Amino acid sequence: MLVYAFDRTFDGLLSAVFDAYSLRQHPDMLMGEGEPLPLFCEEVHEVTTADDRAARVWAGLEKRLSKQALRMLMVSYLSELPELDTPLFQYIYKVFQQPEGRTSLERNFSDADVLAVTNIGRKVIHEQHRMLQFLRFQKAKDGTYLGVVSPDHNVLPLTVAHFKDRFRDQPWLIYDAKRRYGFYYDCQEVIRITFQHEESLPFDLDSGQLNDEVISKDDKLFQDMWRTYFKAICIRERMNPRKQLSDMPRRYWKYMTEKQ
Partner 1 sequence: MLTEKTMEKLRILAESAKYDVSCSSSGTVRGGKQGMVGNTVGGVGICHSFADDGRCISLLKVMLTNYCMYDCAYCVNRRSNDIPRATLAVHELVEIVMEFYRRNYIEGLFLSSGVVRNPDYTMERLVAIARDLRTVHRFNGYIHLKSIPGASGELMSEAGRYADRMSVNIEIPKEESLKLLAPEKDHQSVFQPMQFVQQRVLENQEDRKRLRRVPRFVPAGQSTQMIVGATADTDRDILHMSSVMYSQPTIRRVYYSGYVSVNTYDPRLPVLKQPPLVRENRLYQADWLMRFYQFSVEEIVDEANANLDLEVDPKLAWALRHPEQFPVDINRDDYEKILRVPGIGVKSAVLIVNSRRFNRITSYHLKKMGVVMKKAKYFITCHELTDGYANPIVGINELHPERLKPLLVSKAQQKKAADELQLNLNFEEEPC
Binding region for partner 1 (CB under 8 A): 104, 107-112, 115, 129, 132-139, 145, 147, 162, 164-170, 218, 221-222, 224-226, 228-244, 247-248, 256-258
Angstrom distances, CA of residue 93 to CA of 16, 51, 86, 119: 9, 18, 10, 18
DSSP string, 100-133: SS---GGG-TTSHHHHHHHHHHHHHHHHHHHHHH
**What burial class does residue 170 get, using C-beta atoms within 10 Å of its C-beta: 0-12 exposed, 13-18 middle, 19+ buried?**
middle
- Residue number, 11 or 219, with CB nearest to partner 1: 219
Give the residue among 1, 32, 36 at the shortest CA–CA distance from 16.
Answer: 32
What's the closest the beta carbon of residue 210 comes to partner 1, in angstroms? 12
Q: What is the C-alpha separation between 61 and 106, in angstroms, rounded?
A: 11
Q: What is the C-alpha separation between 82 and 87, in angstroms, rounded?
A: 10
What's the closest the beta carbon of residue 66 comes to partner 1, in angstroms? 13
- Residue number, 3 or 173, with CB nearest to partner 1: 173
- Residue number, 49 or 66, with CB nearest to partner 1: 66
- Residue number, 9 or 244, with CB nearest to partner 1: 244
- Residue number, 195 or 222, with CB nearest to partner 1: 222
- Supply the DSSP symbol for 173: E
